[in-house]
Structure 1
Amino acid sequence: MIRKSQPAEPHGVAGAVLGWLMLALNRGDNERALQLLDVHPDDHILEVGCGPGQLIELLEDRVHQGYVAGIDLSEVMVQQAQRLNARHIATRLVEVSQGTVSQLPFEAEMFDKIVSVHSFQFWPAPHHDLQEVKRVLRPGGVLVLVLRRLRRSNKAAAEVNGIAKAYPNNDLHALKAALYAAGFAQVDIVGDKDVIAIRP
């Protein structure tokens, strides 16, 4: 089996180390996503590309009567997220599983809110995958995508290494068009030159 790059699908010892680094590097962006989600105690929330589970941990402190799910392509990330959130998984408030955004293992209209932090650029088929996300989102629900935009000097190297697709990070018009095409009625873009959040 051909492995994807470490950022796309962390694996092995290097993948485990990357997961630990994510806990430090992504803390601020996870907190930003948390603010944009406007979490209520009875929300049903899904994180796509949950990594080591830090945002799930932040969410579970605010969701007391609802449900938090995380899904990640990487077995290593799922294991780390399950360890970090073991107490709430035991109470069935939280579920973390391995899977792909292209075929989410959830019923239609199951979630009030869906979030993805720095994983959208690795989605294998963004147009289809956004429609799949829309399928499991309740009418009037919220999707928050947090993206790290590439500086021009790093763009070529990132594309060569397969770290990012061009349009999610550098062409916001195309990204907005994809969100509208997937059925989202409103798209707001919030952020600075390095990190942006999209909230339909």
Structure 2
Amino acid sequence: MRILEKYPTHTMLNTMFRPLRFLSLQARKPTGLFGQYVMTRIFNSVNADLNSFVKETLGLKINDNILEIGFGPGRLINDMAGIITEGVIEGIDFSDTMLSQASKLNKYYISIGTVKLQKGECSNLPYDNETFDKLCSVNTLYFWNEPDKYFQEMFRVLKNGGKIVIGFRDAKQMKLLNLSKDIFNTYSLDEVIDLLSNSGFSNSHIVKKNGKQLRSYCAVAIKPMAQ
């Protein structure tokens, strides 16, 4: 009964009668015990191939300063932290549950100053202009209601010549999952390229990799050097 008491009545009803919508809401912003235990396991499993692909595509250097948008349970940050020995990896996520989970996973790297995590809105990033060498995000694009604003903010905090890598699944694959359309905004490959280009990024392109279950895509672009 104690577990049930953690969930509001409306949440329990959603779970029982509208499970796909409940799962969609949890995917967007994990909360409570379901977010802590179930969504953490789902993210770590479903995002494993894409996390690895994004890490590979970033081309990390030991002194990079990196930002991950929507770090979830913190698995990608943990994987990158073993490489970044002279730089810093920062992360921002608006879920208290994911901040707690990621902080536990990255406790050691936080203690030595390699990793810094905080709660916040990614549409209004709390960082100075031109702070990061590289920026990444994995499977969060679908939840950005104003994607132009997100990409403009990412452009702002990235250094001139900096690299952005957005890991995602395209609209065709996402629609097969039958998740709530009012929560998941799906994009074609061309639409993601347009979002990057319209925000000022150059050399925008897509790289792809076949996974065990789904095909992974990375949208890659560079912030131009100042003229």
- Which residue number in structure 2 is paired with residue 9 of structure 1? 29
Give the letter aligned to residue 145 of structure 1: I
Mapped partners of 2:139, 2:102: distance in 1: 16
Counterpart CA distance in 2 for 1:39 and 1:87 is: 20
CA contact (8 A) 1:7 1:163 kept: no
My pick for the range that moved more, 25-34 or 60-69, is 25-34
User: By how many angstroms is 1:172 displaced?
Assistant: 2.3
Measure, in 1, the Cα distance between the counterparts of 2:61 and 2:127.
21
Encode CA deviations 1:39-68: one digit per residue, 9 max, x unaligned.
000000000010000000011000000000
Task: Count residues with an aligned counterpart.
Answer: 194
Whole-angstrom CA distance in 1 between matches of 2:128 and 2:107: 24
Q: CA deviation at 1:93?
A: 1.2
Look up the SS of the partner of 1:186 in the other structure. strand
SS of 1:69's partner is strand
Whether the 8 Å CA contact 2:134–2:164 is kept in 1: the answer is yes
Verify the 8 A CA contact 1:121 1:164 in the aligned structure 2.
yes
Tell whether 2:81 aligns with 1:60. Answer: yes
Rg larger in 1 or in 2?
A: 2
- Structure 2: how far apart are the matches of 1:24 and 1:180? 31
- Counterpart residue number, 1:47: 68
Report how far residue 163 of structure 1 moved. Answer: 4.0
Pairwise CA distance, 1:181 = 1.2
Q: Distance in 2 between matches of 1:62 and 1:173?
A: 32
Q: 2: distance between equivalents of 1:35 and 1:153?
A: 23
**One of 181, 185, 191 as aligned partner of 1:165:** 185
Structure 2 equivalent of residue 102 of structure 1: 123
CA distance in 2, matches of 1:152, 1:58: 26
What is the aligned-residue RMSD (CA, Å)? Answer: 2.0
Partner of 2:133, secondary structure, is strand
Note the residue ranges of structure 2 that are not aligned, 5 or more in a row.
Answer: 1-10, 12-23, 222-227
Give aligned-pair identity as a percent. Answer: 30
Provide structure 1 residue ranges, at least 5 long, that are not aligned to the other structure. none
Q: Are the counterparts in 1 of residues 134 and 163 from structure 2 also a CA contact under 8 Å?
A: yes
2:170 alignment partner, one of 149, 165, 182: 149
Residue type of the alignment partner of 1:12? G
CA distance in 2, matches of 1:102, 1:153: 23
Cα distance in 2, alignment partners of residues 85 and 110 from structure 1: 22
TM score, norm. by length of structure 1:
0.90
